[in-house]
Structure 1
């Protein structure tokens, strides 16, 4: 019997891809019920699902758990009685990720899939890898937090903008690309991996925020290692992510600046230089060679080096030529909002807008900027704007406030709900109601050559 076919399934969480899964399960002959536990569905959406034969519930009390063959959940309180009843009654409970993996594994054919997760660097790593693949002559589907598109030697083809990176949208992106002859697919995924990947990349876990049915980011990302049964796991050795190698069924390739194993950095100067030793490939081969690449000057910080190393390791694991991959990295110009530095008339402006909820990444950028004071800048300016949450992540504002007090930042500019909260926590700075780049540069004009770090989750 094929899994997730001709069964009665309950899909929990209609906010993060549940509707996509319901439609796919219908195609597989399942009777499907939906639990809108966050109560975010509009009446017209409920009416549409009902018209498709999908019964929608908003309260777990109305469910008869014993009737289901499988329960599929993403974001939900694990203490809901629904799940304890399922455990008692012997009803399997799996994640959206696992369900997507089951379906994609059946329909992907010879397509090589790379799944990328982590709390930092997913989008940049995915884009570097997609560029490497395209430059090598491959046709690749890339689905990231910005858009879903096809890259091939003849150009870039946009399929959809703004599709979230919740696991179920791997299926959505896959369906959007069905008319293209693909060699590879690169999926950025918010919570763990589906298990359908030939390569699974974990860029690191720097914030263990509360997340999904699995309680926190660490356990959610761990699903990458649990769901993959074949293929290769690519891990950041400079982070706790390296521990996933010990619970993974298959092979692992570990990269890092300090603690790389298969991909090791030997020197960081004008170029990043290192060695690859005993790296496993999906075809069963082994790679041993030296590597070196020079990042574009607008790519700011240590995380950008790690992103490049992660993409290089994934490319080598796919069997792509290391020397050619390094050339692709050298011509990569970055991703908007992902620590891109811009030289202006009034200093250096670094757009770190995507780090707006990640305290560790924000502090790392500040520390790196401070190391450049007196060398490339005469003042460090940090701008904090936006809200205290983005998607399903909530910034640890008290921790950020305490850490900022320990650092000698020349000027802090505050705006929005995040800035207001930091001011309440005792952070001294200039509060600006209507923030703009021009206003930031005006306030920074007290320095001759400031390095301005712009943090916001409202890019």
Structure 2
């Protein structure tokens, strides 16, 4: 974080300053901010956030031992560290992020990109950050830091020398993106797609559309909206952008897109695509598995070139990326038995894309194996969407369908109903039982997809299988 005095921080947070030790109100702090005491270092600022299972106030002592210079708390503590007492620690985190980013922006060349969408946010964020980091100091989220805690923590990593801030915005509820993007007012807003992810929490896909469009509304007037030309709901955000005087830059597969993919070829080693970038031809060879990641690459390329990066340079940097993120289409195992661990997130759209990728990268002498768990946050749509996945797996001729967990059982039942009843589809109550089966069932030439929402916990099963067949 940039250097600020304790008194200034107290004013920004609307809190009561409690000075301890040799500190005074004029003492400057500039360490990294975090809500995890284990990640605090010398000079750091620890935010004592109450949690669902524990209370951050219990770990202030640990933060002090690790060198914390300040604690942001909701009640005064006896610990030997200066404190700012606030009504709401999470709200204080947002207030602090807003102030810090505004100060950096006023003093330097900082440009801010916000990214949202039902799928692909983390991959696109990582691809864009890879492009921009060669242009200047770039701050981007760790993993999927895209909520009311993670997004401000990322913003607080900016310094006076930061040239680009790439923020990823998730939507836990209507208004969440508006709040998070409103902390920084992005110069560029990127909307990837509007799909069924989290639809249960929003009341349907139209409500999801309104939630995702909050980013366009929060992008600064006269800024840039980077929109998916192939998604009708994203394309419908164009009038919102125009009303705010924003330029619209399109990406996609259709003729409308200024950053466009033409022929796309998928293999086990990656994806090749012929591109047109503002009418100029290029070839992209992406190591990240899956045809669907071409769209994420197009979005990153559209944003980067709008920020002044040469298309050839941006494409060369994209080609150095080996995986999007851990547990996202991550190749494990060996050439003998290839495991694709994609079990950090799952929605109907990403599940379908992963299954299609599995079918595309498997040769005629190899066998497709799909290890599937539940998709979360679908609400009333859960049964129907799990049925669709089971149906799709059969239609793609996936040769072994391994379904895990009671929440995912409908995938198995649908696969059985569609004809995969002679051992092609099996069901297990938990990951351990599935591991025991797979450790003896898998054979040379198998290509195995492990796919589920994070809550299903199958990412660890994918890791175990990867180690077993390494």
TM-score (norm 1): 0.66
Deviation at 1:405, TM superposition (A): 4.1
1:227 aligns with 2:208: no
Are 2:328 and 2:344, in contact at CA under 8 Å, matched by a contact in 1? yes
Q: What's the counterpart of residue 340 of structure 2?
A: 350
Between 40-49 and 403-412, the greater mean CA deviation after superposition: 40-49
Q: 2:367 aligns with which of 366, 379, 383?
A: 379
1:259/1:224 Cα in 2 relative to 1: closer, same or farther (>3 Å)?
farther
Confirm or deny: 8 A CA contact 1:140 1:182 kept in the other structure: yes
Q: 2:240 aligns with which of 206, 231, 247?
A: 247
Q: CA deviation at 1:260?
A: 4.8
Question: C-alpha separation between the residues in 2 aligned to 1:225 and 1:29?
Answer: 27
CA apart distance, 1:400: 3.3
What's the offset of the Cα at 1:140?
0.9
| CA distances 1:218-244 after superposition (whole Å, capped 9, x unpaired) | 222111011113321111222232221
Equivalent residue for 1:295? 286
1:321 aligns with 2:301: no
Q: Does 1:183 align with 2:183?
A: no
Per the TM alignment, residue 173 of structure 1 is displaced from its structure 2 partner at its CA by: 2.2
Shift of 1:353: 1.0
Q: Matches of residues 349-368 of structure 1 in structure 2 within 5 Å?
A: 349-356=339-346, 358-368=347-357
Matching residue of 1:413: 402
Q: Could you tell me whether the CA contact under 8 Å between 2:348 and 2:389 is conserved in 1?
A: no
Given that residues 104 and 196 in structure 1 are in contact (C-alpha distance below 8 angstroms), is that contact kept between their aligned partners in structure 2?
no
Deviations 1:256-286 (A, max 9, x none): 1235521122322473122222xxxxxxxxx
- 1:454 corresponds to 2:450: yes
Distance 2:230 2:215 in 1: 18
What root-mean-square deviation, in Å, do the aligned CA atoms of Structure 1 and Structure 2 show? 3.9
Deviation at 1:317? 1.0
| 3-state SS, counterpart of residue 173 of structure 1 | helix
Contact residue 388 and residue 394 of structure 1 kept, 8 A: no
Kindly tell me: are residues 27 and 43 of structure 1, through their superposed partners in 2, closer, same or farther at Cα, counting changes over 3 Å? same
SS across alignment from 2:275: strand
Report if the CA contact (8 A) 1:100-1:171 is conserved: yes
Describe how 1:426-445 pairs up with structure 2 within 5 A.
428-431=425-428, 433=430, 434=432, 439-445=437-443
Provide Cα deviations, 1:59-82, integer angstroms capped at 9, x if missing partner: xxxxxxxxxxxxx99xxxxxxxxx
The CA distance in 2 between the partners of 1:455 and 1:123, in whole Å, is 16
Are residues 211 and 99 of structure 1, via their aligned partners in 2, closer, same or farther at CA, if it must alter by over 3 Å? farther
For residues 80-123 of structure 1, give each alpha carbon's deviation from its aligned partner in whole angstroms, at most 9, with x where no partner exists: xxxxxxxxxxxxxxxx9999768744553321111111121111
Aligned residues: 358
Question: Would you say 1:305 and 2:294 are equivalent positions?
Answer: yes
- Give the whole-Å Cα distance in 2 for the aligned partners of 1:29 and 1:133: 32
Q: Given the alignment of the two structures, is residue 274 of structure 1 paired with residue 275 of structure 2, yes or no?
A: yes
SS, match of residue 237 in structure 2:
helix
Which piece of structure 1 moves more, 247-256 or 136-145?
136-145
Distance 1:30 1:345 in 2: 58
The Cα of 1:203 is off from its aligned counterpart by 1.7
- Alignment of 1:262 with 2:261, yes or no, is no
CA deviation string 1:109-139 (max 9, x = no partner): 32111111112111111111111112x3421
Distance 2:126 2:150 in 1: 18
Query: What SS does the corresponding residue of 1:28 show, helix, strand or coil?
Result: helix
Matched position secondary structure for 2:301: helix
Alpha carbons of structure 1 residues 53 and 327: separation in structure 2 relative to 1, 3 Å: closer
2:359 to 370, 392, 400: 370
Give the structure with the larger helix fraction. 2
Name the CA shift for 1:319/1:348 in 2 (closer, same or farther; >3 Å). Answer: same
Structure 2 CA distance for partners of 1:170 and 1:361, relative to 1, 3 Å: closer
Tell me if structure 2 keeps the 8 A contact 1:98–1:227. no
Q: Which runs of 5+ in 1 are unaligned?
A: 1-22, 33-37, 57-71, 74-95, 147-163, 278-287
Q: The residue matched to 1:143 in structure 2 has which SS?
A: coil
Structure 2: 5+ residue runs without aligned partners? Answer: 1-6, 17-49, 59-71, 77-83, 172-176, 266-270, 417-424, 460-470
1:127 aligns with 126
Q: CA deviation at 1:363?
A: 1.6
- Aligned-partner Cα distance in 2 for 1:119–1:39: 26
SS across alignment from 2:156: helix
User: Quick one: structure 1 residues 436 and 336, their matched pair in 2 at CA, closer, same or farther if it must change by over 3 Å?
Assistant: farther
